[in-house]
Structure 1
Amino acid sequence: MKKKTLLLAAMMSAAAVHADEGMWTIYNLPPQVYEAMQGEGFKLTYDELYNGDNALKNAVVNFSGYCSGVVVSPDGLVFTNHHCGFEAIRSHSTVEHDYMLNGFYAKTYEEELPNENMFVSFMVEQSDITGRLQALGIDNMGSKEQAALLDSLQNVLTDSIKGIDSTLHVDIDAFYEGNRYYATTYQDFTDLRLVFTVPKSMGKFGGETDNWMWPRQTCDFSVFRIYADPKTNGPAAYSKDNVPYRPKRWAQVSLQGYKDGDYAMTIGYPGSTSRYLSSYGIKEMRDAENAPRAQVRGVKQDVMIRHMRADEAVRIKYDSKYAQSSNYWKNSIGMNKCIDSIGIINQKRAYEARIKAYQDSTGYLKGKLDFDKMKELYELRFEDVKAMMYWSETFRRTNEFCTRAMALDRMEVMGPKNKKSKQYILFSDNSDEWDEALDKEVFAVLLKNYREHVAQKYLPKFYATIDTQFGGDYTKYVDYLYKNSFLMKSEEKIYVNRKSYLKDPGVQLGLDMLEIRSMLRDNIMRTSDSIANMEKFLCAAKLRMEEDMPHYSDANFTMRLSYGQVGGFMLGDKPSGYYTTAESIVEKMDKGDRIIDYQAEPIMRELLSAPDHGAYTDPVTGKFQLCFLTNNDITGGNSGSPMFDGNGNLIGLAFDGNWDSLSSDINFDSRLARCIGVDIRYVIFMMDKWGHADRLLKEINAK
């Protein structure tokens, strides 16, 4: 009888889990969740998913700290998104050999292109170390003390694991708003080489026109290879003597496809969500973060795209920068629209009223979780957070001059240690990464825009110089800076202990900017620890109130699993459909004379217009399917995540969400939120029919 009762309870709990919501850590996957996965069509055992060398999770990688990827061959080939490999593709491109424009295929190992500052990271194992940290007093510390403790323990754990295997390291991350802490062991491979990419016309097909939209036809993939030490098969710095890595596990590429309602699963590294965030935090996100971000980026991008379209060399330099900027420009706009249309803030307030009632009835966290105090704290810092966002979007990584000005206090001082007058800093020549005309116009436009959107107290002192010496003319001021500051003189010694150093207009500008940033940081930090504690208590109260249900933590760029089904949603009063076809991309290509994002090479139209696509045709629909929808729970960082069927076979790569899902970082709506993936058959088709990459196809051995 007892066994039957427990089984019934487990089944009831499983039914309470939304099969299309959740970013679950795998090492401690709740039994209710695993049972729900099985009920939806998952066929692997838990050991085949997580434990041992042959576990499916061993085929999934953190791709360079901002995306996800999957190993697909016994010789270390990695699939990720085209936009994840975009900067590597750009960095190898020149006007003469434009791999972004024309694509790239390395026909031999020797032709595969190495990349600086790129890596893939494998998760080895994960464990809960909350008790150890609580014993060390972490719950009674401020954020700086906590950071110091976490760093210290992380070093201890890394030193310990390196005693077993010198190629491993440990990261510690907070989960559930700091109510739990997990230690994760990783192995990083830094010799990562570009092997294959389609032209940008296909890898970014639809561009900003289709970004975050459905239907999609983007062939969003690129191929890299992991290289390893020839003696150990372990991580090694780049060397011509390194050999292709032999992975413990790789994913089997499947040409069998999927049907509406089939089980679908992503495993990857989602970056950041805020689903436990209070209504006050969401209001701050909407009005003090998203709105300023979208406003400033819109102004900047108008200048960038005009210069990029006028000059191919400029386009190559800025393609990646523009894509990075525009992605979260559109995301911020869409998220704010969803927040308002769905009424998320009011929904959160209603839920917080339930938690308050639970608190009043149980006394849980009485004297700690105080909603009135939380509201007051958020209001105290609102204007400073908003100004900080305008400051960051205006001055950080927007133009080369400001980047150099703010780097001054972090640069390595060279020269004789015993003779200060000879000590200097040096800017390397990076002229291949930026264009002066574009850079100067962006700077001038953003200076004007910043002043129009912040209070007087947030203006750096150099604004007075603009008024008094340049008559309020931002262009003249920027021209003066570029002409007269030594900041723009690459490969020339800048002596830091001479009188001329502090008089330089670029140094003065940098000091003025940093002064405002310091003021804003100090103002924000006065309430940040208290707000973080309130949010931590709010999460703890939710977990306690719903302790009979499994809960996943917000994303923090650690490995997560999400599961659900293939399927569409309602676009207004019409069904979206769950896949797109070759016919639909040809229809868009026909609009290429009017919509630049739909332009593609004639060969692409020819290939996709073929009357028969052979083995790449879906056996059920009779169509060549390009992209498809699932209700898997994803966010930024999941780009490049493998999409698996119930047998653990690779059926696609996640690359985007739909417009209606843009509020899912704070509130997942299972009716509307969808993951958009590129069908793996589309990927293999392009490698085959366009790239003629026979050696890679044989290596991948798609079934």
Structure 2
Amino acid sequence: MKKSTLLIAALMTFGTVKADEGMWTLYNLPQAVYRQMQSEGFLLPYRDLYESKDAIKNAVVNFSGYCSGVVVSPDGLVFTNHHCGFEAIRSHSTVEHDYMLNGFFAKTLADELPNKDMFVSFMREQKDVTPQLESLGYSRCGKDQQAAMVDSLQRALTDSVRQIDPTLHVDIDPFYEGNRHYATVYQDFTDLRLVFTVPKSMGKFGGETDNWMWPRQTCDFSVFRIYADPKTNGPAAYSKDNVPYHPQHWARPSLEGYQVGSFAMTMGYPGSTSRYISSYGIVERRDAENTPRAQVRGVKQEVMRRYMRASEAVRIKYDSKFAQSANYWKNSIGMNKCIDSIGIIQQKRDYEARLRQWQDSTGFLKGQLSFPLLEKLYARRQERVRTMMYWRETFRRTNEFSTRAMQLATGMEVKGPKKNAAKKYHSFADNSNEWDAALDREVLSVLLKNYREHVDARYLPKFYTTIDTRFEGDYTRFVDYLYTRSLLMKKGAKLYYNTKAYKADPGVRFGQDVMDVFYDLNEGMGAINDSIETQERYLCAAKLRMEADLPHYSDANFTMRLSYGQVKEFELGGKPSGYYTTPESIVEKMNRAAHITDYEAEPIMKELLSARDFGRYTDKTTGQMHLCFLTNNDITGGNSGSPMFNGKGELIGLAFDGNWDSLSSDINFDARLARCIGVDIRFVLFMMDKWGHAHRLLREMGL
């Protein structure tokens, strides 16, 4: 068979087997992928994805470095998920004005609420800079030299684009496990204001009960606005004089709906996937990362949940923290379940066996890629990785005391004159509105006990001896001693570095002991980690070479990606899952709120969703209003808030979750099971209209 015929056959196979898998970069989207999109119902020209002024990518934003969003009006309105705006909503909430509980709508521009340390970022351009790096000898350099080379090129490119527009900057990221590097030009807007949010009862309806599950009825959206310099329409620090931003392009919400098989596309910033990773890496992910993460977070969340239920003030402080912890607690459990039930490790081993045969026959990377070496390297670090996960989940950002102690031990929060060491001191700003002392103490106490029960004794910080000898193994008494005797938690206290009081402070010693274990765990690991990274890069390169006739996408790395597919259900327990949910289904759950607190909602919500007629928000095909719907788009963390488009580039929803049955998709995409769950844009608009009476926003969007 001629090579050209082989290529056509390969692409036909790609189109039928892998049509919906992939997180594709836009500037170099393979023509084969674009043709497949057209065959499934995409109607816009190729250039309207990335190149033209009205390209869809010009409406999509990186939302604050952890989510995605979409501009939906000529005055800079941005839709993202409720859980992406969660911390902003929480930070504006008080017991007297609880926007988490009651929702929020700014009746005028002047009422829109500014947010500290939030931003949206537009991707303006992207290109492959691998040739430039290789011309400088990148492949022949060591790791530190390579990092310096990338940093130098990044700074040079940023300087270059800033001569054109001083508000631009360039990031260079590795793709294909570091075999390629792309440079991306970004423009960041830091004046971002909260405009509208539904109550948490709707924005997080179903809570942890329904998280990662189908069917879903969550109205997971919030609305922000980008503000800009009034003279340039460009980025500007917050000012009362700033005005709404006027974007190049914005997405138009569609009321037309969809059917099974309708084209669907997401565009956003998927955070991290590991689909090129070896079978040995998957074993490590399951046993040394996911299992410890789920175990420790389960212990911590039990304490948090108890205190949050007892106090509204505590709940407001910890709503966001709990949600963040619980999200990947459940994800870790679900991923491990899928790894085992689908048999992913054996599938990977079978593929690697074929890859080794191909390598033997071609000699590609002979003497460099070694599967026995890769297996040996992972085995050498497994126990340390497992222990490090217990260490991170116990001490790192889990409670305020540990956080402060570690900041001291690593030299953070140092104040005073730069040239006078004797007058340097540590102090902490009063952030008591962000944590609760009783909860903080109990979390630390139970986590200290849990850590000891799950790690080898050689990785116990020295203070465990003090717990045994001075406090007779009583963790609560030890924690009380820390809080009482240490200056770490004393408002306005100053710890002068290297003084007698500093050295004697139990919080200082606690942080030093914790960091000593961290350094011990990392001792000698650099070379092993570098070797694993090199072998995984070779493995990816071999896969790309062996399958050179097929298009390949890179693993997610929080750069903009496109995913396409169809509105599509899946088999759920041997039965069709259905591809959308209805008002009747959410009302039925609300009726069970007495038994499942995650289904509680305000009476007005039940009343609105019990309506017989939903007017223009009713789907013309089914005669019902759709709440949430399923597509087989390829998503992961970071895609939260990603716009979901129809074939005409119109907005039909916001992606907010994957399904429990495919939580292993970060390492293996299973087209039979993998689904993206989105909130229907008509449900969003219905809530803005009938509950929020946000008619000025609807008019602004042309509705």
TM-score (norm 2): 0.98
| Contact 2:117/2:190 (8 A) holds in 1 | yes
Aligned-pair RMSD on alpha carbons? 1.5
How big is the shift at 1:137?
2.9
Q: Which amino acid aligns with 1:676?
A: I
| 1:618-637 residue CA offsets vs partner (Å, 9 max, x unmatched) | 01100111000000000000
SS in 2 for 1:486: coil
CA 1:330/1:5 → structure 2, altered by over 3 Å: closer, same or farther?
Answer: closer
Cα-to-partner distance string for 1:415-441 (whole Å, 9 max, x where unaligned):
334543322222000000000000000
Aligned partners of 2:389, 2:598: CA distance in 1, in Å? 30
The aligned runs of 1:419-430 (5 Å cut-off) are: 419-430=420-431
The answer (yes or no) to whether the contact 2:7–2:549 under 8 Å persists in 1 is no
- What is the CA-CA distance between 1:284 and the residue it aligns to? 0.3
Is residue 668 of structure 1 aligned with residue 665 of structure 2?
no
**Equivalent pair of 1:385/1:524 in contact (CA under 8 Å):** no
Alignment partners' CA distance in 1, 2:324 and 2:524: 29
AA aligned to 1:406 is M
In 2, Cα distance between the equivalents of 1:308 and 1:394?
20
| AA in 1 matched with 2:561 | R
SS of aligned partner of 1:487? coil
Question: CA 1:160–1:475 in 2, change beyond 3 Å: closer, same or farther?
Answer: same
Structure 2 CA distance for aligned equivalents of residues 133 and 13 of structure 1:
34
Give the Cα separation in 1 of the matches to 2:162 and 2:466.
Answer: 55
Aligned 8 A contact 2:567 2:630 in 1? yes
Instruction: Specify the SS of the correspondent of 2:523.
Output: helix
2:413–2:428 Cα contact (<8 Å) kept: no
Query: What's the CA shift string for 1:539-564, capped at 9, x where partnerless?
Result: 00000000000000000000000000
Q: Is the 8 A contact 1:67 1:269 kept in 2?
A: yes
The reply to whether residue 75 of structure 1 matches residue 75 of structure 2 is yes
Q: Tell me how far apart the structure 2 counterparts of residues 667 and 25 of structure 1 sit (CA, whole Å).
A: 19
Instruction: Output the CA distance in 2 between the equivalents of 1:67 and 1:143.
Output: 30
* 1:123–1:559 CA contact under 8 A, matched in 2: yes
What SS is found at the alignment partner of 2:47?
helix
Q: In structure 2, what is the Cα distance between the partners aligned to 1:9 and 1:547? A: 13
Contact kept? 1:370, 1:534, Cα under 8 Å: yes
Equivalent residue for 2:256? Answer: 256
Q: Distance in 1 between matches of 2:246 and 2:6?
A: 44
Q: 1:239 to 1:350 in 2, by over 3 A?
A: same
Is the 1:87–1:320 contact (alpha carbons within 8 Å) kept by the matching residues of 2? yes
AA partner of residue 84 (structure 2): C
Structure 2 partner of 1:114? 114
- Residue equivalent to 1:292: 292
TM-superposed CA distance for 1:133, in Å, is 1.4
Q: Does 1:243 align with 2:247?
A: no
Give the match for residue 643 of structure 1.
644
How far apart, CA to CA, are the structure 2 residues paired with 1:569 and 1:413? Answer: 55
Could you say which residue in structure 2 is the equivalent of 1:324? 324
Percent identity between matched residues is 73
Instruction: Supply the AA of the counterpart residue of 2:531.
Output: S
SS at match of 1:274: coil
Q: Which residue of 1 aligns with 2:168?
A: 168
Counterpart residue number, 1:47: 47
CA distance 1:6–1:350, change in 2 (3 Å): closer
Q: CA deviation at 1:5?
A: 7.2
CA distance in 2, matches of 1:282, 1:533: 17
In 2, distance between residues paired with 1:32 and 1:16? 12
Between the aligned partners of 2:14 and 2:395, the Cα distance in structure 1 is 49
1:553 aligns with 2:590: no
Counterpart position of 2:126: 126
Q: Alpha-carbon deviations, 1:339-380, whole Å to 9, x = none?
A: 000110010000000000000000000001100000000000
- Look up the SS of the partner of 2:70 in the other structure: strand
Cα distance between partner residues in 2 of 1:417 and 1:565: 60
Q: d(CA) in 1 for partners of 2:10 and 2:467?
A: 68
- Tell whether the 8 Å contact from 2:22 to 2:553 is kept in structure 1 after alignment: yes
- Give the match for residue 597 of structure 2: 596
Give the Cα separation in 1 of the matches to 2:85 and 2:148.
Answer: 34
| In 1, Cα distance between equivalents of 2:438 and 2:84 | 28
SS, match of residue 224 in structure 2: strand
SS at match of 2:581: strand
Superposition pairs for residues 233-632 of structure 1, below 5 Å?
Answer: 233-408=233-408, 409-632=410-633
CA distance in 2, matches of 1:8, 1:441: 63
1:84 and 2:54 aligned? no
> Which segment is superposed worse, 29-38 or 460-469?
460-469
Structure 1 Cα separation of the partners of residues 530 and 569 of structure 2: 42
Report the residue type matching 1:104 in the other structure.
F
Q: Are 2:105 and 1:105 aligned? A: yes
**Hey, what's the Cα distance between the residues in 1 that align with 2:692 and 2:260?**
30
Show CA shifts across 1:276-319 (max 9, x none): 00000000000000000000000000000000000000000000
Distance of 1:195 and 1:417 partners within structure 2: 43
**Aligned counterparts of 1:282 and 1:414: Cα–Cα separation in 2:** 44
Moved more, 146-155 or 260-269: 146-155
Question: Within 1, Cα distance between the matches of 2:248 and 2:135?
Answer: 37
SS at match of 1:261: coil
The answer for the alignment partner of 1:93 in structure 2 is 93
Change (3 A) 1:7 1:458: closer
Contact 1:282 1:345 in 2 (8 A): yes
Give, in whole Å, the separation in 1 of the partners of 2:382 and 2:141.
24
- AA of the residue aligned to 2:508: V
Deviation for aligned residue 1:73: 0.1
The runs of 5 or more residues in structure 2 that have no matched partner are none
Distance 1:473 1:145, change over 3 A: farther
Decide whether the 8 Å contact of 2:10 with 2:550 is kept in 1. Answer: no
> Structure 1 residues 642, 428: CA separation in 2 closer, same or farther (over 3 Å shift)?
same
Given the superposition, is the C-alpha separation of residues 379 and 688 from structure 1 closer, same or farther in structure 2, using an over 3 Å criterion?
same
Amino acid at match of 1:330: K
Give the Å deviation of 1:152.
2.2
Describe the shift of the 1:514–1:416 C-alpha distance in structure 2 as closer, same or farther (beyond 3 A): same
SS at 1:78 equivalent: strand
Q: Deviations over 1:463-496 (max 9, x none)?
A: 1111111111111010000011111113222211
Name the SS for the 2:172 alignment partner: strand
Contact 2:10/2:549 (<8 A) preserved: no
Q: CA deviation at 1:334?
A: 0.2
Task: Output the CA distance in 1 between the equivalents of 2:416 and 2:432.
Answer: 25
Q: Distance in 1 between matches of 2:8 and 2:414?
A: 68
**CA–CA distance in structure 1, aligned partners of residues 422 and 642 of structure 2:** 53
1:16 Cα deviation (Å)? Answer: 5.3
Counterpart code for 2:584: E
Aligned partners of 2:569 and 2:576 also within 8 Å? yes
Q: Is the CA contact (8 Å cut-off) linking 1:191 and 1:228 kept in structure 2?
A: yes
Aligned residues of 1:69 and 1:79 also touching (Cα < 8 A): yes
- CA shift, 1:594, in A, is 0.7
What's the secondary structure of 2:429's corresponding residue? Answer: coil
1:35 paired residue number? 35
CA shift in 2, pair 1:144/1:402, >3 Å: farther
Say if 1:666 and 1:208 are closer, same or farther in 2 by CA, change over 3 A.
same
Aligned to 1:217: 217
Counterpart Cα distance in 1 of 2:272 and 2:413? 33
Normalised by the length of structure 1, the TM-score is 0.98
Instruction: Kindly provide the CA deviation profile for residues 648-668 of structure 1, in whole angstroms up to 9, marking residues without a partner as x.
Output: 000000000010110000000
Determine helix, strand or coil for the equivalent of 1:353: helix
Whole-angstrom CA distance in 1 between matches of 2:176 and 2:585: 43
- Return 5+ residue gaps in structure 1 as ranges: none
Aligned length: 701
